[in-house]
Structure 1
Amino acid sequence: MFVWLVAVCFIIAVLIYIQPTFVLDFLSRRDPEVIFRFKTEEKVVALTIDDGPSSLMTLRILGRLRDYGVKATFFLIGGQVPTNEDVLLRLRKGGHELGNHTMKNKTSLMLSSDELKEQIRNMDNILFPPEVNRPLIKWFRPGFGYYNKRMIRDVTECGMRLVLGDVYPHDYYLPFPYLNSLYILKSVRPGSVIILHDLPETLKTLDYILPALRSMGYKVTTLSNLAKISST
């Protein structure tokens, strides 16, 4: 157990000081339809939270964001909504943005085009029923982050923008808030998209990064708000 912990900490430490920005730059040029970060000189970043809603953690994360006066984009899973409809309502009332993360917490790339489109459209109806105003931009993030050209085409045909991110501390696999926070603060730059998850450790991570980002002169907001000020 100790050896495993040391190995994990070493990997995170390496990631903190060796940023794979050239990979994202290459993918951005190859696939301009996919958003990894936004082009802007303003010190504004988007905060995104994946894999909600949940009755406990999402509400606690909402409370923490309210304490810091921050709005975020939540990528929700449709299969979790029926038992958490009150959480979905709280997200809307709180002024946060809702993103499409399909109906199941599975690798979206494994779905056929028909299955993917069906899940996207079903989730879209959950997020934006007739009585809710539809946003100008509807965001889609594939489960587990993998995509290909076919997925880009399918997502576009569904009227969505495919967005990933450029600051991902792998918190889903590495539950170390302090080290994850160091990675975020080392990696962030104007226009960055930060990816976190609906996890207990996220609370501590937010407590670390939100005051630090503010002291660094950054404003933290939603994807759509960041898109408005960018040239992407």
Structure 2
Amino acid sequence: MIRLSALFRLPSKVKRRARRNRMATLFYLTLTLALLLAPFYAIYRPPRLLIRYFQHRWPDVLWEVTPSHSSHSSSSQAAPGSDGGPGPDKVIALTIDDAPSEYTREILALLAANGAHATFFVIGGQVEGREEVLREAVAGGNELGNHAMHDEAARGLDLPVLEAQIGRVQGLIRQAYLDAGAGGVGEDGGVDSGVGGPRHQYFRPGSGFFSTEMRALVDRLGYRLVLGGIYPHDPQVPYWWVNAWHILSMARDGGVIVCHDRRSWTIPMLRKVLPELRRRGYRVVTVSELLDAAGE
């Protein structure tokens, strides 16, 4: 006796065709999703090939370097290894935007505890009442860069406005170096008389976007424009463990890390990142120390 279910059973060829159609549909859906997500992934985790292209396309902007480890400056001693032997061979620059803030002193303590240095990009509107914090940063072997007067997209500012803001912030930076007894950057871009002082003036535009006109202005004023290739998007991602994973998974010799002051989650992130980078054999350094390592 023929079962009723057999009457409704699809022939094997029809079933295979239906299965292939489902697989093809799934493949095209997956491909479409991947194509849609690819630009966002490239923004969140830009491949090194893309960063190298940027460095080639805009050589006056610092994205990363190729270190020449035999050219470390004598003033940038590596932290000793865990076995007491020679220090790490790899270098990575740590840059911290939106300084100073209520969290800066704690960041400075973490840097000192891990034998690390950083370049702090200063927002001029946040300096009043925190001048001593900037002095402490310089005295601790860190350096200060220029982030204009306010937390805003620098690319949207008229060039005369931006130039005026850069000048005001540079005056605050110069005073911090003088207060620290470390000299400072002079009006002409050179180093004032005193001990030490940065070799370069650095500028990072708010929001990270620049134009040809901005690059020309920055160059005329004697600055180097600094961006970077390791950026966890920490202003938008308030989860320290995600940001720590992002940095550690992308860490590479000669890289430039971009993170932010003025966020409470930066502290636990650095508690994880700094000792781990040291364990992996990195010196965490300022932009100037990174350029020294590259022989620039």
Q: TM-score range by the shorter chain?
A: 0.7 to 0.9
1:63 Cα deviation after fit? 1.4
Of the three residues 108, 128, 142, the one matched with 2:205 is 142
After TM superposition, the structure 1 = structure 2 runs for residues 38-187 of structure 1, keeping only pairs within 5 Å, are 38-40=65-67, 42=69, 43-54=90-101, 56-129=102-175, 131=178, 132-134=183-185, 135-187=198-250
After TM superposition, the structure 1 = structure 2 runs for residues 29-44 of structure 1, keeping only pairs within 5 Å, are 29-40=56-67, 42=69, 43-44=90-91
Distance 1:137 1:148, change over 3 A: same
Q: Is contact 1:15-1:183 (8 Å) kept? A: no
Residue 128 of structure 1 aligns to a residue whose secondary structure is helix
1:213 Cα deviation after fit? 1.0
Whichever residue aligns with residue 275 of structure 2, its letter is P
**Counterpart-to-counterpart distance in 2, 1:53 and 1:37:** 24
RMSD: 2.2
For residue 4 of structure 1, what is the aligned residue in structure 2? none
1:26 Cα deviation after fit? 2.2
**Counterpart-to-counterpart distance in 2, 1:84 and 1:115:** 24
For residue 73 of structure 2, what is the aligned residue in structure 1? none
Higher Cα radius of gyration: 2
For residue 292 of structure 2, what is the aligned residue in structure 1? 228
Question: Relative contact order (alpha carbons < 8 A, sep ≥ 6): 1 or 2 greater?
Answer: 1
Residue 166 of structure 1 aligns to a residue whose secondary structure is coil
Q: Is contact 1:74-1:97 (8 Å) kept? A: yes
Residue 200 of structure 1 aligns to a residue whose secondary structure is coil
**Counterpart-to-counterpart distance in 2, 1:41 and 1:86:** 35
1:111 Cα deviation after fit? 0.8
TM-score, reference length from structure 2: 0.70
For residue 254 of structure 2, what is the aligned residue in structure 1? 191
Distance 1:86 1:185, change over 3 A: same
Whichever residue aligns with residue 120 of structure 1, its letter is I
1:21 Cα deviation after fit? 2.6
Q: Percent identity?
A: 39
TM-score, reference length from structure 1: 0.88
List runs of 5+ in structure 2 lacking aligned partners. 1-36, 70-89, 186-197
Q: Is contact 1:155-1:162 (8 Å) kept? A: yes
1:107 Cα deviation after fit? 0.5
For residue 22 of structure 1, what is the aligned residue in structure 2? 49
Residue 116 of structure 2 aligns to a residue whose secondary structure is coil
Q: Is contact 1:39-1:231 (8 Å) kept? A: no
**Counterpart-to-counterpart distance in 2, 1:15 and 1:106:** 24
Distance 1:118 1:61, change over 3 A: same
